[in-house]
Structure 1
Amino acid sequence: MDKNMISPLAYIHPEAIIGENVEVGPFTFIDKNVVIGDNNVIMSNVNILYGSRIGNGNQIFPGAVIGAVPQDLKFKGEETTAEIGNNNTIRENVTINRGTAAKGRTIVGSNNLLMEGVHVAHDALIGNGCIIGNSTKMAGEIIIDDNAIISANVLMHQFCRVGGYVMIQGGCRFSKDIPPFIIAGREPIAYSGINIVGLRRRGFSNELIENIHNAYRIIYNSGKNVTEALEQVKQEIPTSPEIEYIISFIENSQRGIIR
């Protein structure tokens, strides 16, 4: 750790473990039982609290608070962590709480952009390559799969899951699961077609996009219940990892999917 990159106005607990080539701005607080990897830029007025684990190559902007105790009255001070992967951009005033006895850790993967004012509650699991818009709030034990795009001011109920490659309209709130590859929007939130632009940008073939589209036509527009619709998908849509992902996501949904 090059002391020249650490502001003399920052506080770093002597037991904190800091990697190589880490910049720390003034008035930043780094607690004990914190591990920070290499090549991170931690700007001014950041709080990285007990139990935080931060990988390599992250940018953390002023006012962010990582590893604060959960906003959960069941929390009794148990040893838990808030774990952040590599190459994330964590903008101003983002809050990422550590876990509870439920799962023991809150996880944010790699290559994510968390915009200003995002809240990640206890025991949440955010995958890789996600974009989460300003002031979006995620409750406890939510799951967001890889490459999801969640717009600004979205409210996500506890225990919900968001599938990969989705686009969620700004200002939405939801308490059911949002299956992969779709656009979710309107008020109340509803299936609004597949995320065709996003899938093309990610290199999905026209044939695969058509198969995904046909699967969701059956699920949402056939008039069948979910179980019957999934059976029809299995029989009529050519199998692929993406189609299997849709089927398993919906079959394993604990809260049911948005309609």
Structure 2
Amino acid sequence: MAIHSTAIVDPQAKIAADVEIGAYSIIGPNVEIGAGCWIGPHVVIEGHTTLGKNNRVFQFCSLGAAPQDKKYAGEPTRLEIGDNNTIREFCTFNLGTSQDVGVTRVGNDNWIMAYVHLAHDCQVGNHTIFANNATLAGHVHIGDWVILGGFTSVHQFSVVGDHAMTAFASAVTQDVPPFVMAAGNRAVPAGINSEGLKRRGFTPDAIRAIKNAYKALYRQGLPYEEAKAVVLQAASEQEAMEPFVRFFAASARGIIR
């Protein structure tokens, strides 16, 4: 291990043999760091925190600190981070709480820019991009391939579906369906990210079906439950729309309108 002489690493921490840890970083006793990880200078990783393989954590990050929740009483809750994530400067990821599943999770291949905050019990998928200062309140669920614009704020218990995207300084107070672009304070729907879907290999037929789903939800004046039924019926016929099935099963706050 390439551990700087000024770093403080608890002897009980489980650190893979090739991990690099920069100057003045602090690693607590219940931390596990997998192979190929690089931990920059002045990073604090504490709590019951696990990092998978090949993660890069830049300076001044705080991972695994106690949740900002007055009900938290020191329970051994967790922070779990997957593989191949980039976590830039001054990010703060908190532990989970016993009021939820007890785990804050970050998946694989995520690109998380400076000053991002993930509150307790957030669940973040794979291949996401969080621009600078994006902030998730507690219990937020973020799907795969989501892009959050800089200074986006997401209300607690909200769900953001796969392939959704928010504009700069969006204030998300209700759930954002898959594939939908959201913008504004408060955030409202602003179409779908067709170009992004093309780049990810979606076929013209799939993109057409997703556009029709967007129209059913937002353009045809249908009541929510009726629009939802139309979209779920289309999802049963078009595999690419499967994220709608999972989204509607999880959504509880109502969708942005």
Under a length normalisation based on structure 2, what TM-score does the superposition of the two structures give? 0.96
2:207 counterpart (183, 206, 209): 209
Aligned Cα root-mean-square deviation (Å): 1.4
| Uncovered stretches (5+) of structure 2, i.e. residues with no partner | none
Tell me by how many angstroms 1:216 deviates: 1.1
- Give the partner amino acid of 2:88: R
Tell me by how many angstroms 1:250 deviates: 3.0
CA deviations over 1:155-189 (Å, ceiling 9, x no partner)? 11110010111110010112100000111113431
Contact 2:84–2:108, Cα closer than 8 Å, also in 1: yes
Equivalent position of 2:6 in the other structure: 9
Contact 2:175–2:254, Cα closer than 8 Å, also in 1: yes
Tell me by how many angstroms 1:247 deviates: 4.4
1:115 counterpart (101, 109, 113): 113
State whether structure 2 residue 144 is matched by structure 1 residue 140. no
Equivalent position of 2:22 in the other structure: 25
Instruction: Please state whether the residue corresponding to 2:215 is helix, strand or coil.
Output: helix
CA 23–156 in structure 1, closer or farther in 2 if over 3 Å, else same: same
2:55 counterpart (53, 58, 66): 58
Q: What is the identity percentage for the equivalent residue pairs of Structure 1 and Structure 2?
A: 39
Cα distance in structure 2, aligned partners of 1:237 and 1:104:
32
State whether structure 2 residue 157 is matched by structure 1 residue 159. yes
State whether structure 2 residue 67 is matched by structure 1 residue 84. no
- Give the partner amino acid of 1:129: H
Instruction: Please state whether the residue corresponding to 2:189 is helix, strand or coil.
Output: strand
Equivalent position of 2:198 in the other structure: 200
- Give the partner amino acid of 1:96: F
CA deviations over 1:86-141 (Å, ceiling 9, x no partner)? 01000000000011102111001110011000000011100010000101110111
Cα distance in structure 1, aligned partners of 2:220 and 2:125:
32
Cα distance in structure 2, aligned partners of 1:237 and 1:24:
46
CA deviations over 1:22-69 (Å, ceiling 9, x no partner)? 111110000111111111110100000021111110000000000000
CA deviations over 1:213-241 (Å, ceiling 9, x no partner)? 01111111111111112333455677123
Cα distance in structure 2, aligned partners of 1:80 and 1:253:
25
Contact 1:54–1:84, Cα closer than 8 Å, also in 2: yes
- Give the partner amino acid of 1:143: H
Cα distance in structure 2, aligned partners of 1:238 and 1:110:
28
Cα distance in structure 1, aligned partners of 2:129 and 2:233:
34
Instruction: Please state whether the residue corresponding to 1:66 is helix, strand or coil.
Output: strand
Cα distance in structure 1, aligned partners of 2:20 and 2:232:
52
- Give the partner amino acid of 1:128: N
- Give the partner amino acid of 1:62: Q
Runs of 4+ off more than 6 Å: none
State whether structure 2 residue 76 is matched by structure 1 residue 70. no
Cα distance in structure 2, aligned partners of 1:244 and 1:86:
25
Under a length normalisation based on structure 1, what TM-score does the superposition of the two structures give? 0.95
Equivalent position of 2:248 in the other structure: 250
1:42 counterpart (39, 44, 60): 39
